[in-house]
Structure 1
Amino acid sequence: MSTPQPTPVTHLLYLHGFRSSPQSAKARILAQHMASHQPDVHWWCPQLPPSPREAMALLLQGSADWPRESMAVVGSSLGGFYATWVAEQTGCKAVLLNPAVNPARDLEKYIGEQTCWQDPQERFFFQPEFVQELRDLACASLTRPERYLAVIAKGDELLDWRESHARYAGAQLRLLEGSDHGITDFDQQLPAVMAFLGLN
């Protein structure tokens, strides 16, 4: 039997990580690739508000009229945690790049004023109540693991790759022997990401 071809993605959402922005290296690489090779695909990479609850409300509102069967989400780090929530809400495909598994635990120590990696002049306040908002967004086991591709770097200096590997064990996994949290060789991962999205 031939493998059914994936439905090509028509709408693609990119979610940046904590203290990051649409100006992150991966977001820019993907935006440039989509503009050059997939100009017909609707691309959206919003600046996410610090509040997880507000961030998810923004995403649901902004994608409310997107076709669920041909939309997809890509998320990095905290954005990977958010992308999991979006995929579970909408039934869409998701690509997770070094996804955070338990951000409520990991970000508790960051309560207070923070700066953006790409522009230290950009400041925001991570409120104590945001930790509970992250807990509220935690998904149980994945309903359809085959909808997920997780790209996980063993060289991640911020998150334990074993935790991500266990969380997404039933998904398609791309385990990188080295690399780092930012996946600085992301351009080399693009072909696999595009193939999973049916955009190659």
Structure 2
Amino acid sequence: MITIYIHGFGGSGNGVKATLFREYYNKIQEQFLAPSLSYVPDLAINTLEEFIERYNGRVNLIGSSLGGYYALYLANKYNLKAALINPSIYPYETLTKVLGYAPNFYDESKFQWNTKHILMLKKFEVSQPKEKNFFLLLQKGDEILDYKEALNKLPQAQLFIQERGNHSFENIQEHFKSIQEFFNSNS
């Protein structure tokens, strides 16, 4: 079994959360992968599907923000478990605010984000998620996304919700053990 971390918009496999998860999985000696994905939605999903198929579906997913949206789609498609950290539920709406040149947080470069990318995102929307496969980790202080959208989309998912916090999800490392317990459970 391998756990794949899916970063958010403008992120990378070397971001803060990806690095913390990588250290945790190295410590518990379990396989982990945090690829730096293309900002083009079709290419990002294609890359992730190749990994999932390469590991014969023996995969757990962790997705943050836009990565949560991708994880929702992939977990539903392949019947996988996924931990969604402050997930973007409607990125085709929220990311219209950044049309034009968007930041790459790894090296502070910019990439062009356009309406074709927004249309690509719509293709990956899940209308009926298999809620037992999901663990939602939400902080109400998320300044970018409304946590209630995730609650409404996945009302029967396993849930951790916290007052305050922020979009990056403060102190995520405190939840690594509960994420791993969710992955190891038979639910």
- The bucket for the TM-score relative to the shorter chain is over 0.9
Q: Which residue is equivalent to 1:127? A: 114
Task: Work out the percentage of aligned pairs sharing the same amino acid.
Answer: 25
Q: Which residue is equivalent to 1:137? A: 124
- Tell me how far 1:62 sits from its aligned partner: 2.4
Within 1, Cα distance between the matches of 2:173 and 2:54?
30
- Tell me how far 1:130 sits from its aligned partner: 0.4
Within 1, Cα distance between the matches of 2:19 and 2:144?
21
More deviation, 14-23/74-83: 14-23
Q: Which residue is equivalent to 2:163? A: 177
Q: Secondary structure at the match of 2:123?
A: helix
Q: Deviations over 1:69-113 (max 9, x none)?
A: x41100000000000011011111000000001000110121111
- Tell me how far 1:161 sits from its aligned partner: 1.0
Q: Which residue is equivalent to 1:76? A: 64
Within 1, Cα distance between the matches of 2:94 and 2:75?
22
- Mapped contact 2:100–2:113 kept (Cα < 8 A): yes
| One-letter identity of the residue aligned with 2:160 | R
Within 1, Cα distance between the matches of 2:154 and 2:26?
30
Q: Deviations over 1:128-176 (max 9, x none)?
A: 200000111111121x211100001111111011111111111101111
Within 1, Cα distance between the matches of 2:52 and 2:153?
26
TM-score normalised to the size of structure 1? 0.88
Runs (4+) off by over 2 Å: none
Unmatched runs of 5 consecutive residues or more in structure 1: 1-9
Q: Secondary structure at the match of 1:94?
A: strand
Q: Deviations over 1:9-39 (max 9, x none)?
A: x1111100011111221111100000111x2
TM-score normalised to the size of structure 2? 0.94
Q: Which residue is equivalent to 2:90? A: 102
How large is the RMSD of aligned CA atoms in angstroms? 1.4
Equivalent in 93, 102, 115 of residue 81 of structure 2: 93
Within 2, Cα distance between the matches of 1:117 and 1:160?
22
- Tell me how far 1:118 sits from its aligned partner: 3.3
Q: Which residue is equivalent to 1:157? A: 143
Q: Which residue is equivalent to 1:15? A: 6
Within 1, Cα distance between the matches of 2:114 and 2:51?
24
Within 2, Cα distance between the matches of 1:22 and 1:137?
21
Within 1, Cα distance between the matches of 2:159 and 2:128?
16
Unmatched runs of 5 consecutive residues or more in structure 2: none
- Tell me how far 1:67 sits from its aligned partner: 3.3
Within 1, Cα distance between the matches of 2:96 and 2:169?
24
Q: Which residue is equivalent to 1:45? A: 34
